[in-house]
């Protein structure tokens, strides 16, 4: 299936996927994409959230709520993540 249209890059780095392409590929608002750039080519690959990804997302949401309840700031969490990754 080939869908071919022209588009532009906005000043904010946004690209509009033309309506005809969105309809042909069944793309909906809020869908996520992996963006790959190679040479002069940019590829968008639709990501579909599976059951495992949804569970991970829920764990992250719960973890953030607990961290906020304890009083951790976003900056503290980022510092702890950085320190943990350095130790690995």
Q: What is the pTM of this model?
A: 0.51
pLDDT at 1: 65
Q: Same domain for 59 and 76?
A: yes
pLDDT at 17: 94
Q: 66 is written with which tokens?
A: 């607990």
Assign residue 47 a region (left: φ > 0; alpha: ψ between -120 and 50; beta: otherwise). Answer: beta
How many domains is the chain built from?
2
Q: Same domain for 40 and 58?
A: no
Radius of gyration of the chain (CA): 19
Other C-beta atoms lying within 10 Å of the C-beta of residue 67: 15
Q: Same domain for 56 and 33?
A: no
Q: Identify the domain containing residue 76 by its residue range.
A: 51-87
pLDDT by 10s per residue, the chain, length 88: 677 889 999 999 999 999 999 999 999 998 888 899 988 999 898 887 777 777 888 888 888 888 888 888 888 888 888 888 887 5
Letter string b/e over residues 4-37, b meaning 16 or more CB atoms within 10 A of that residue's CB: eeeeeeeeeeeeeeeeeebeeeebeeeeeeeeee
């Amino acid at each position: 299936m080939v869908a071919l249209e022209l588009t532009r890059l906005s000043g904010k780095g946004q690209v509009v996927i033309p309506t005809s392409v969105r309809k042909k590929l069944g793309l909906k608002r809020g869908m996520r994409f992996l963006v790959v750039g190679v040479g002069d080519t940019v590829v968008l690959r639709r990501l579909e959230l599976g059951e495992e990804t949804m569970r991970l997302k829920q764990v992250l949401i719960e973890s953030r709520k607990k961290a906020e309840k304890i009083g951790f700031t976003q900056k503290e969490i980022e510092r702890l993540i950085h320190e943990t990754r350095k130790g690995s």
